[in-house]
């Protein structure tokens, strides 16, 4: 299929320049398709065949959008809601079309949320058979002992048909008795899973933040509520995680 894209729309979709910024780029002769200077944003090009460049730098066109959001506490993981603030409220409105979050974080959970319009990747990353790891930093009540770690590794009864799949639990810090800080790694995504797992061992989650999904690591430079686009490398690695290797 031959795809024709408007130059100004492409630059704004890729967050290279807003429509008004791109007018200045065109006027200054800084945008080219192949070797031709483009003076008008309505010109169309075929991203599979033509090379779009700004200041001599190739613009890599992507069919899909991939955002990493550092989800703050206090918003829900949904595309819209009549009452509550959603994770979409943190992304530019003009980019919302067809975007959805990959998996769900509770309202009070913070951290890594991938938001994309690549429905196939979204599906693959969540498919139970793929066992894509999700890693969380958690602050929990009480003392995480070796016994607790063993029970996480063996699988816990949390009221589902089957016990949870083996989960990693690594102690990162403790005040001795009342609070422990841990990294938890799970390969499933059951409702409130981590909170229910700690409940099953008589403990309570006080704070929860997702720090990794497969190979995708939360960018610590992102303040809660901030987002950035994924790099080409991050997208390719995620596709490998989900069993797909092509861009």
Q: What residues act catalytically?
A: 106
From 238, 226, 193, select the one nearest 112 (Cα to Cα): 226
What separation in angstroms does the CA of 70 have from each of 57, 67, 111, 115?
29, 10, 5, 11
Closest separation in Å from C-beta 172 to ligand URA: 17
What separation in angstroms does the CA of 79 have from each of 32, 54, 69, 131, 217?
36, 33, 14, 25, 23
Nearer to ligand URA, 186 or 238 (CB): 186
Q: Which residues contact 33 (CB under 8 A, 6 or more apart)?
A: 7, 43, 45, 50, 51, 52, 53
Q: Which of 23, 192, 237, 244 binds ligand URA (CB under 6 A)?
A: 192
Looking at 14-22, 44-52, 171-179, 189-197, which segment touches ligand URA (CB under 6 A)? Answer: 189-197
- C-alpha 117/C-alpha 139 separation (Å) is 32
- The two tokens of residue 205 are 């989650």
Torsion of CA 231, 234, 235, 240, to 10 degrees: 160
Closest separation in Å from C-beta 208 to ligand URA: 6
Binding mask 219-238 toward ligand URA (x if CB under 6 A, else -) reads: --------------------
Q: Which of 76, 88, 182, 194 binds ligand URA (CB under 6 A)?
A: 194
Q: Which residues of 213-225 are buried (b: 16+ CB within 10 A; e: fewer)?
A: bbebebeeebeee
Q: Which of 32, 71, 151, 195 binds ligand URA (CB under 6 A)?
A: 195
Looking at 11-19, 44-52, 105-113, 154-162, which segment touches ligand URA (CB under 6 A)? Answer: 105-113
Looking at 120-128, 172-180, 193-201, 238-246, which segment touches ligand URA (CB under 6 A)? Answer: 193-201
Nearer to ligand URA, 134 or 239 (CB): 134
Contact (CB, 8 A) for 110 and 71: yes
Helix (H, G, I), strand (E, B) or coil at 114: strand
Looking at 55-63, 88-96, 103-111, 238-246, which segment touches ligand URA (CB under 6 A)? Answer: 103-111
Closest separation in Å from C-beta 109 to ligand URA: 3
Nearer to ligand URA, 116 or 193 (CB): 193
Binding mask 109-148 toward ligand URA (x if CB under 6 A, else -) reads: x---------------------------------------
Residue with tokens 């099953």: 200
- C-alpha 139/C-alpha 151 separation (Å) is 18
Nearer to ligand URA, 195 or 239 (CB): 195
What is the binding site for ligand URA (CB under 6 A)? 105-106, 109, 192-195, 208
């Amino acid at each position: 299929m031959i795809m024709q894209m408007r130059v100004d729309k492409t630059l704004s979709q890729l967050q290279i320049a807003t429509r008004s910024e791109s007018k200045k780029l065109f006027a200054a002769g800084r945008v080219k398709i192949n070797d031709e200077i483009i003076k008008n944003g309505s010109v169309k090009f075929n991203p599979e065949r033509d090379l779009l460049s700004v200041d001599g730098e190739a613009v890599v066109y992507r069919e899909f959008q991939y955002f990493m959001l550092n989800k703050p506490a206090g918003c829900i993981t949904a595309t819209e809601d009549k009452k509550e603030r959603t994770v979409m409220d943190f992304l530019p409105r003009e980019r919302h079309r067809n975007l959805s979050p990959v998996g769900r974080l509770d309202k009070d959970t913070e951290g890594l949320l991938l938001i994309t319009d690549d429905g196939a990747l979204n599906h693959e990353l969540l498919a139970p058979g793929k066992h894509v790891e999700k890693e969380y930093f958690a602050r929990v009540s009480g003392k995480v002992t070796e016994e607790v770690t063993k029970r996480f590794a063996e699988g816990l009864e949390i009221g589902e048909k089957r016990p949870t799949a083996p989960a990693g639990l690594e102690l990162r810090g403790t005040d001795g008795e009342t609070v422990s800080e841990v990294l938890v790694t799970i390969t499933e995504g059951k409702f409130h899973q981590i909170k229910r797992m700690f409940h099953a061992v008589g403990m309570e989650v006080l704070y929860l933040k997702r720090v990794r999904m497969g190979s995708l690591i939360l960018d610590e430079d992102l303040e809660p509520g901030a987002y950035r686009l994924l790099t080409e490398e991050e997208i390719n690695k995620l596709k490998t995680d989900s069993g797909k290797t092509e861009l």
